[in-house]
Amino acid sequence: MELLRLICLLRLWLALLSFLVGFSAGSATHWPEQEGKEVWDYVTVRKDAHMFWWLYYATNPCKNFSELPLVMWLQGGPGGSSTGFGNFEEIGPLDTQLKPRNTTWLKWASLLFVDNPVGTGFSYVNTTDAYAKDLDTVASDMMVLLKSFFDCHKEFQTVPFYIFSESYGGKMAAGISVELYKAVQQGTIKCNFSGVALGDSWISPVDSVLSWGPYLYSMSLLDNKGLAEVSDIAEQVLSAVNKGFYKEATQLWGKAEMIIEKNTDGVNFYNILTKSTPENAMESSLEFLRSPLAHLSQRHVRHLQGDALSQLMNGLIKKKLKIIPEDISWGAQASYVFISMEGDFMKPAIDVVDKLLAAGVNVTVYNGQLDLIVDTMGQESWIQKLKWPQLSKFNELKWKALYTDPKSSETSAFVKSYENLAFYWILKAGHMVPSDQGEMALKMMRLVTEQE
């Protein structure tokens, strides 16, 4: 056993050394040599609609990739790039400076990053009518991609396959999981689908909006007058959703955000302990009045396409990948992706999660303690609306504490699970859990994929 341990440590050291060979410290001027295998490609999922994916094979020094799960990561937005933000800002092997990430998930899983819906990241459309407009189209497109992927990479057909997601990516992941489950049952897609994880997910938008006021008030970020203003606009959003006026609800949601920013001196929707980038309130209001959707897409896709990441993706990464068409810039179509989903944005997907639970699919919900846009209170609210027969038994359970360091008494998270539903409360994390609490996010992934 001691000899095996020494061999593993030696392999780990050699892997790290090879990772660093040729790397220019402090600059992203060339791609560092990596131990693991990578492949990438396009799939034409519909006429004029081309979806890009990028796969990293797991690099655990003691296990072959075939002994570890395959994780597909789906970003939010809609319009956020998995191959960009999820990869370089959250769970991939390198950060935006091309330095190794200590908490990369690649140590314990192969990683499949997909730019979806079409038009996101390096994915692109040739005509404007090819953008997806609803969850059904998003799921249908992904079925085409996954069938192509597993048909071409048969080595992954028996490997446990999990979908992890963030924000609007969670809503897409739920819809995709329902269709994938059907496809596996019918035999049209050959894969070992093992579960889905919904991170800070936009499953029930109205429950998030309704909880914004009480959450901010409880955190001393709203006074009584501010709470009343936020509660009033939240009720307007609820009324629009109940009437099925989803486009109107989307615009009212944007108005609610501005009311919150005005009353909180610019709280950051992605982490309440920070402030948004300073922006002239009057100018922001005028932008919203001129084009509410364009304004909202800028707000909620822009933070996923920072300057450093955009320069990396459109420079060194585009050169590395070689197959990106010359006229396609990473992220250039992202705003159109967001705008095209206007009618779908505020629709709830609670019933979709219910379908997954009823089918026996393992569903994990996880949320950052400091997130506002999809706060934990809102997540807990929609979970109580599930029709899942075991919900009462889930509710009776007490959560248990989790620690990233077994020698430390500092709690990193809480978890509660019953049968095929689990909920993780991730402490000291905002909307982007792997960015804020990388060690805990990695531990959670290993727990979900049954590696701990």
The answer to whether residue 371 is catalytic is yes
Amino acid making up residue 183: A
Annotated catalytic residue within 123, 167, 276, 417:
167
Amino acid making up residue 306: G
Give which of 19, 31, 33, 49 is closest to 312, Cα–Cα: 31
Q: Which two tokens stand for residue 327?
A: 């006229």
Residues near 161 by beta carbon (within 8 Å), at least 6 away in sequence: 69, 70, 72, 191, 192, 193, 194
| Whether the bond into 78 is cis, omega within 30 of 0 | yes
Give which of 99, 113, 7 is closest to 54, Cα–Cα: 113
| Whether the bond into 325 is cis, omega within 30 of 0 | no
The answer to whether residue 431 is catalytic is yes
CB 314 within 8 A of CB 140: no
The dihedral formed by the CA atoms of 434, 436, 440 and 443, expressed in degrees to the nearest 10: 20
Our measurement of the distance from residue 400's CA atom to the centroid of its chain's CA atoms, rounded to an integer in Å, reads: 25
Annotated catalytic residue within 207, 371, 375, 436:
371
Amino acid making up residue 296: L
Q: Which two tokens stand for residue 388?
A: 């899942």
Radius of gyration of the chain (CA): 21
Give the residue numbers marked as catalytic.
167, 371, 431
